[in-house]
Structure 1
Amino acid sequence: MTSPVAFRPRRSVLYMPGSNARALDKAKTLAADALILDLEDAVAPDAKDVARTQVAAAVSGGGYGHRELIIRINGLDTAWGSDDLEMAIAARPDAILIPKVSSPVDLERVASRVNGAHAPASVKLWAMMETPLAMLNAGAIAAAAVNPETRLACFVMGTNDLAKETRARIVPGRAPMMSWLMACVAAARAYGLDIIDGVYNALGDQEGFEAECVAAAEMGMDGKTLIHPRQVDPANSAFSPAASEVDWARRIIAEFEKPENAAKGAIQVEGRMVERLHAEMGCRVVALAEAIAARGLERDGEK
């Protein structure tokens, strides 16, 4: 049984304001899996041009190691969106994050310009899911990934904007939003996308943050967007498989790989009935653990 194609862990996805040059430089030393270099919400209108210039320099300058770099642009219907997108295409980050995606048309508008500029296939598009229409159209938006020209690779939940637009309250446990969150998880999984949870606003509430990370992992999210470096380590921990989980996955995979079990759909492992689908799930657990371990070795080499 083969492991899944190698992938990048996206446990911790840290927003970095593009207008803060010091923060952009500091990000090179953080243990975040991915960095969203933000030109939108985190940047004041009078700092948009400076932020665009600094983000372009940061991406082209490199030095971020394993960290996935995503540029969040302003919407194309704003005064800054078109220039942001032109810069992002030229900078060639790992992905461009599109705000307020409410239908597949929003993706297609951006993808058309990215493809028209002949950007390499490695430049993906991520979609902010943060409007009422996005919740109603989650399946259709995710289905756009069937066409590789849309470049869609990931959903990012924008829970603050979603609360603003729907008037739903953000409360512990997020019961008012749970149906939307799970609908987006289902849509993402149906079409092979990753999905990253929204931010946690209360910086002083570490216990609440950790609980929300654990809950998001249990829901099937791949990671969480973050607003401060102190949130990186707890997020990495919550979205990493436990050693016992990895060990159990390896045992299931090993049993199904035995010649006598090659044609079986279900077997007993240490007194527990497991199906072949558990081995397939185990392959992902092992691949994730190996990718995380490799990332740790890479960080050691950076020191």
Structure 2
Amino acid sequence: MALLRTLLFAPGNHARKVEKSFTLGADGVILDLEDAVAIAEKEATRDKVVGALQPPRRCLGYVRVNAFDTPFCYGDLMAVVRPGLDGIVLPKVESASQLQTVDWLVTQLERERGMQPGSVDIIPIIETGRGMTALKAIVGCGSRVRRLSFGAGDYTLDMGMQWTLEERELDHARANVVLASRAGGLEPPLDTVFIHIGQIDGLRQSTRLARNLGFQGKLC
């Protein structure tokens, strides 16, 4: 199993950042249609993302679509599930049924568009209290879900927590994601981004802590 040590986000509507992101040595790049893209630009950004995913590339190419319960998720999936896509990053996953629905749609699109069946994997981001309580069901959602990821930004907001530099308030959530992954037979999960820009020692500490807890890599 080849570990994903780093998955690097790039805003899908910023062509220069997207192009550069594929040259920085990450194991994969996540082109973002969610937080980094304003509502007015979301539909136009889909075509830009599809173009950026075409080979040749130096690393894996993922797309973070908008959350399942938004007006944009379906359109995102219809646009980006095409040859050249390695996987979908699905934010704010809170139930197995959300993943099963996305899995079904991706399967139909693979078939219609001449793609290898099962070639697109799905990385759910667990970033709400509901998502945490549904972990047992989420990890059993089929072969496309090979690994989970943890999103501390929305999780701490949802839970009314303070995200500190030391990150000890995240220990319980991180441990739950690792435990559920192991119990469900998945790969080790991917840890949250580190938001404290310029705090290199803090980044090292966060990365070391995640590794010690059993994560395989980090979103960044």
Please confirm whether the aligned pair reaches a TM-score higher than 0.5, indicating the same fold.
Answer: yes
Cα distance in structure 2, aligned partners of 1:32 and 1:135 = 28
For the pair 1:171 / 2:168, whether they are aligned, the reply is: no
User: Which residue of 90, 107, 112 maps to 2:99?
Assistant: 107
Residues 159 and 139 (structure 1), Cα distance of their counterparts in 2 relative to 1, 3 Å cut: same
1:24 deviates by: 1.0
For the pair 1:89 / 2:81, whether they are aligned, the reply is: yes
Cα distance in structure 2, aligned partners of 1:76 and 1:106 = 7
Asked if 1 retains the 8 angstrom alpha-carbon contact of 2:6 and 2:28, the reply is: yes
**Rg: which structure is higher?**
1
Cα distance in structure 1, aligned partners of 2:83 and 2:42 = 17
Q: Give the equivalent residue in structure 2 for 1:98.
A: 90
Cα distance in structure 1, aligned partners of 2:14 and 2:72 = 18
Asked if 2 retains the 8 angstrom alpha-carbon contact of 1:92 and 1:123, the reply is: no
Asked if 2 retains the 8 angstrom alpha-carbon contact of 1:75 and 1:81, the reply is: yes
Q: Give the equivalent residue in structure 2 for 1:4.
A: none
Q: Which amino acid is the alignment partner of residue 187 of structure 1?
A: A
1:24 counterpart SS class? helix
Asked if 2 retains the 8 angstrom alpha-carbon contact of 1:35 and 1:68, the reply is: yes
TM-score normalised to structure 1 length: 0.68
Q: Which moved more, 1:10-19 or 1:167-176?
A: 167-176
Asked if 1 retains the 8 angstrom alpha-carbon contact of 2:66 and 2:90, the reply is: yes
Asked if 2 retains the 8 angstrom alpha-carbon contact of 1:142 and 1:193, the reply is: no
Q: Give the equivalent residue in structure 2 for 1:21.
A: 15
1:54 counterpart SS class? helix
Deviation string 1:120-179 (CA, Å, 9 cap, x unpaired) is 2221111010010111111221122xx33xx11121111100011001111233222211
Cα distance in structure 2, aligned partners of 1:174 and 1:140 = 27
Where structure 2 has 5 or more consecutive residues not aligned to the other structure, the ranges are: none
User: Which residue of 161, 176, 186 maps to 2:154?
Assistant: 161
Pairs aligned (count) = 214
Asked if 2 retains the 8 angstrom alpha-carbon contact of 1:28 and 1:63, the reply is: no
Cα distance in structure 2, aligned partners of 1:205 and 1:24 = 24
Deviation string 1:192-241 (CA, Å, 9 cap, x unpaired) is 23311101111111111111111111111011111xxxxxxxxxxxxxxx
Q: Give the equivalent residue in structure 1 for 2:180.
A: 187
1:143 counterpart SS class? coil
Q: Which amino acid is the alignment partner of residue 71 of structure 2?
A: A
Cα distance in structure 2, aligned partners of 1:34 and 1:108 = 24
Runs of at least 4 residues off by over 4 Å = none
Cα distance in structure 2, aligned partners of 1:26 and 1:59 = 13
2:189 counterpart SS class? strand
1:91 deviates by: 4.3
Q: Give the equivalent residue in structure 2 for 1:72.
A: 64
Residues 91 and 80 (structure 1), Cα distance of their counterparts in 2 relative to 1, 3 Å cut: farther
Q: Which amino acid is the alignment partner of residue 215 of structure 2?
A: M
Q: Which moved more, 1:152-161 or 1:70-79?
A: 70-79
User: Which residue of 205, 212, 219 maps to 1:218?
Assistant: 212
Asked if 2 retains the 8 angstrom alpha-carbon contact of 1:168 and 1:177, the reply is: no
User: Which residue of 122, 126, 135 maps to 1:125?
Assistant: 122
Higher fraction of helix: 1
TM-score normalised to structure 2 length: 0.92
Cα distance in structure 1, aligned partners of 2:210 and 2:68 = 30
Where structure 1 has 5 or more consecutive residues not aligned to the other structure, the ranges are: 1-6, 227-303
Asked if 2 retains the 8 angstrom alpha-carbon contact of 1:39 and 1:51, the reply is: yes
